[in-house]
Structures are given as C-alpha cells and as structure tokens.
Structure 1
C-alpha cells in the first residue's frame, strides 16, 4: 500500500506542477513569444511606400530581401550608396563589438580592484561600499546627460585636463566618451558581484597560505582568482549581453552618431533609426541583432562552462 501510494503520488505531483506553472508559461508566451514571432514574420514583408510622412499601401512578402539589404549591403538590386543605413550595418556591428570589448575589459579590471579594496577590513568600509554603488543606482538617461555636460567643449573634462577636444563631434573621442561613461556607471555592478564571490572565500585559506610562505600576489593568483571565477564569469556574461544591446547611453550622449554621423551608432540605435523608414527592414535588423547576441551568449556560456569544470577538477592549488 505504501509503495503504491508513493508511486501514484509522483504523477499527481507532476500534473500539479504543470498546472501551477502553466499560467506563467502562458503569460511569457504572450509577452515574449508573440512579439518575437510577430517581428520574425514582419521581417519577411516589404515596407509600404512612405508618402507625406505616412505609410501608404501594404508591403507584401519580400523573402530574404530585407536581410540581404543589411548583410549583403544591398538596396533592391543595386548596392547601397555610401553613408546609407544599409551600408552602416557592418559598421554598427564593429562599433557595438568595440564598445563591448573595451568597456567590459575595463569594468572587469577596475571592478576586481574595487572588490579587493572593499573586501579589506578598515574603518568606514560599509560607507565606502554604499558610496561606490551610487553611479550604478543613477538612471542611465541621467548619467548620459551628466556626462554630456562634462564632455562639452567648455565642460569639466576639458578644463581639468587642459584640452580642447570636441568629445561628441569627433569619431574616436565620441566612442571613448561613451566607454568612459559606461565604465563609470556599471563598474560598481561588476565590483558588487565579485565582492559577493570574495565574501564566500574562507579566511583559513589565506592563513594557511601565509604559513606556507606565500606572498600576497601568489595568494591572489592561487586562491582569490580561482574561487572568485564563477562570480567573475557571471559578471562578464551579464555585462557583455548588456553592452551588445546598448542604446540609451550613446543615443543621449552623442545623439546616436558622433563625429562622422555613425561613430557611435550601435545596432540598437540603427534599428530605431530604421523604424522611421519601415517595419520590415527594422524587424530584419532586430532579428539579426538577436541572433548576434544569442550566438555570443551561447559561446560565452560554453567557454565559461569548460573553464568552471576545469577549475573544479584541478581545485585550488
């Protein structure tokens, strides 16, 4: 009787679990699934004609022409002229990847240093941790506007450094202005994740390392870095995916262009610009952006999973 009751309880619990999670699954399908499917379907439709600021007529099935417009830089049957949105696709990809690599690299290095400092025992440590999180708590739009005034020609940056740089009008200066602003805002987030990983490291390990004669650098490389690696990898994944879809910071700081007009035009900004010309091309561009982010996310998860498995196999030496 007991075995039969326990055997029948399993399927009942399984059915009950399905019933309990089904409302959430339906809600996710409506909020996330439907827009994705609608955008994918729209990406295969042509854009209606634009007349007097209004769309006239309906766009029929266009096949892969919207995708070829971006990937192959084609406008119909002819190549896009220089400077058009179609020709900017690969430029936007390179700009997005450049901002991602540089910003995340700086944030990881600075965040690791900040976490090491905040993990020490000293008077006022709690106050320092609270102050460090202030940039991360500020809304991105406010941050962008703040740095916009600081990077102006007669702003604080030029006055403090004695420079005469048009930060938002020069191509490379505009890119580095976006990077500096993004690093200032989100480095505390990375530091917070790394600090959480450091808090779980037993102090006995450092004491044993000191007894064995290991210096601070060796203890960091053999104890801190391996044990904090999971938190560090999570921070990298979060930040990479976040910067790949960055929009508001460069859109407000450099008006989405900077310098030559597309120096800071990321894929998200390019998608919004394309919306003014038609939904078919914008949907195709958003789908390509999604595939890029999805591919990068899968690659990072696979690489980091291998690193974590190898770290667990070798242990802390």
Structure 2
C-alpha cells in the first residue's frame, strides 16, 4: 500500500514538474547545446581543396576558443575585465542604494504610495529607452555638463564612458533590489522591533541585529539576480556609448559583433564562454550562500533553540545547594 502511494506521489510530482522541465529544455538547454555545437565550426570561406567558396561551415574543433585566447586575446581580456568591473561596481552600489530605498519605502509617512511608485519608475522603463535618455543627458551640451560647469566627453571612449554606464545602470536597477528587500521587510513582525526598543537598542543596533539578519535571504536573492543580469550586460553600453568602444565593451558585445559580421562560430564561442562564466558565478554563489538563499539559517537557529530547551537543566552546584 505504501509503495503504491509513493509511486502515485512520484507520478504526480513528475506530472507537475514536466511543464517547467519542458520550458527549460526549449528555452535554455536546447539553445545552449546548439551554441556549443556552432562554436565548433568556422565561418564560410574559400575551400583550399576546390578553390571555390564553401557553402558549408567547416569543422574547426576548438580553434575558435584558442583564437579567442590568442589572436583576440587583448580584446577578450579587456571585455572580460569590463564585464567583471561593471558587475562588481554596479551591484555593490545598487545593493547599498536599494536597501536605503527599501527602508524609506517601509516607513509609515504621508505620501508613501507616491514615493513607492516614483522609485519604481526607473525599473519600469525599458533599458533601450533608458539608454537613450541618459545619452541625451551625457551629450556634450547635455544637462550633466551644464550642472558640472565644464565639458566632459561622457559618450567617448575612456573612463567617463565607464562612469556614465555605471550611473545609468545603478539608476535603473537599484529599485529592483529595493523592491525585493521591501518584500522581506514587510514580513518582519513589529513586535521584534518593539521588544528591541524596550531593551534600549538604538536604530543602528536594530538595523544590524534585526533587520539585516531577517532580510538577508531576500537581499541575497536580489544580489544573485542582479549579478547574473550584470554579467550579461549589452544593451545599455551599446546604446549609451556605442559599439567597439574598448572602455565599455563587454563579452555580450563581443559575441554580437562577431555575429553581425557573419562569424557565427566565434560568436557562439564567446556566448559559450560567457555562459560558463555566469554559470560558475551562480554555482559559487549558491554553494557559499545556499542556506541563506532559502532562509535555512533562521530555521537552523530555531531548531537549535528548541533542542536546547528540551535538554534538562544542569544540576545546581553544591555550594548553591548548601546556601
């Protein structure tokens, strides 16, 4: 009887999970395998055996990957550094600003609904539109230079271009972290803060010892999503600064550049390398912080507290008994 129930439960679980697995296969697994296969072929060109243009892509094995690391090594490592730089800087700034936004939106004050709506406007704007808006702001005669009082070539190649991309990306996506952290703040019981105030804990102590630990799972999920999104950054620097600008060129832009020049094999190789980079970052993130991502840290603490309560109290010391 128990075996039949287990078999029925297993079939029900497989039936419920099958749509998700089907979508993942179509959207993720199949394109990844196709990109991996395409990366093993070179572009169409002159066939040395016949002297004619080849109508098929020749099989080159791992030559596309070795070419990326040797012939295009400087450009690849520059794009790799830019991708990592944008991820670290933007996600760090967005985390700080997003937490501040969440704390502001969580407070009870008049006009809170208007503040919440206005803070979420940048996140609602499409990235392409956001890139165009910031391109007008960072033009030579734009409002950024007017406010600064001197001319800065924001959309040219160099460090100002990096700074422009960072500012635009933080402005757009910091509300995303703020929204997820706000959701975590709203499930914290008010009694916890009231008890801390009665015990004399100040605002900073309440933030460090109550807010951060309890909102940590939601915050880590937001940071993980933003890291994965920033590693694939393409549209914002492409629209705001332009293509083939060394200071802002990312791995996604390299893949697009190869594909636009009908070099699909090298483009697929860049895409596979970027996929592996994103996958390793996500795997390391989940491995190191997996318990906090699903909120097991608090459950573990509650289990330990209950186990301590079940233990019998220690016998009083002889001196205390005699007293």
How many angstroms apart in 2 are the aligned matches of 1:141 and 1:242?
A: 15
**Any conservation in 1 of the 2:122–2:172 contact (CA below 8 Å)?**
yes
* Structure 2: runs of 5+ lacking an equivalent: 48-52, 303-323
How many angstroms apart in 2 are the aligned matches of 1:202 and 1:125?
A: 20
The aligned counterpart of 2:55 is: 57
The aligned counterpart of 2:11 is: 15
The aligned counterpart of 1:224 is: 211
The correspondence for 1:159, drawn from 146, 152, 158, is: 146
1:130 lines up with 2:109 in the alignment: no
**Any conservation in 2 of the 1:70–1:87 contact (CA below 8 Å)?**
no
The aligned counterpart of 1:292 is: 277
DSSP-derived class of the 2:104 partner:
helix
**Any conservation in 1 of the 2:102–2:182 contact (CA below 8 Å)?**
yes
1:281 lines up with 2:266 in the alignment: yes
Q: TM-score, normalised by structure 1?
A: 0.86
How many angstroms apart in 2 are the aligned matches of 1:194 and 1:295?
A: 25
Measured against aligned partners, the alpha-carbon deviations of 1:204-247 in whole angstroms (never above 9, x if no partner) come to 11111111111111111011111111111011001000000011
1:264 lines up with 2:269 in the alignment: no
How many angstroms apart in 2 are the aligned matches of 1:15 and 1:229?
A: 36
How many angstroms apart in 1 are the aligned matches of 2:27 and 2:105?
A: 40
How many angstroms apart in 1 are the aligned matches of 2:207 and 2:23?
A: 46
Q: Relative to structure 1, is the Cα distance of residues 133 and 50 closer, same or farther in structure 2, using a 3 angstrom cutoff?
A: farther
Q: Where do 1:34-183 residues align within 5 Å?
A: 34-49=30-45, 56-71=54-69, 73=70, 80=71, 85-183=72-170
Q: Relative to structure 1, is the Cα distance of residues 60 and 239 closer, same or farther in structure 2, using a 3 angstrom cutoff?
A: same
DSSP-derived class of the 2:67 partner:
helix
**Any conservation in 1 of the 2:157–2:246 contact (CA below 8 Å)?**
no
DSSP-derived class of the 1:185 partner:
helix
**1:305 deviation in Å?**
2.2
1:187 lines up with 2:179 in the alignment: no
Give the paired residue count.
Answer: 294
How many angstroms apart in 2 are the aligned matches of 1:30 and 1:194?
A: 32
**1:27 deviation in Å?**
4.7
How many angstroms apart in 2 are the aligned matches of 1:27 and 1:112?
A: 33
How many angstroms apart in 2 are the aligned matches of 1:143 and 1:17?
A: 42
The aligned counterpart of 2:50 is: none
1:245 lines up with 2:245 in the alignment: no
Q: Relative to structure 1, is the Cα distance of residues 160 and 56 closer, same or farther in structure 2, using a 3 angstrom cutoff?
A: farther
**1:262 deviation in Å?**
1.3
The aligned counterpart of 1:76 is: none
**Any conservation in 2 of the 1:178–1:249 contact (CA below 8 Å)?**
yes
Alignment RMSD: 2.2
Computing the radius of gyration from Cα coordinates, the structure with the larger value is 2
**1:277 deviation in Å?**
4.3
**1:26 deviation in Å?**
3.9
How many angstroms apart in 2 are the aligned matches of 1:13 and 1:201?
A: 35
Q: TM-score, normalised by structure 2?
A: 0.85
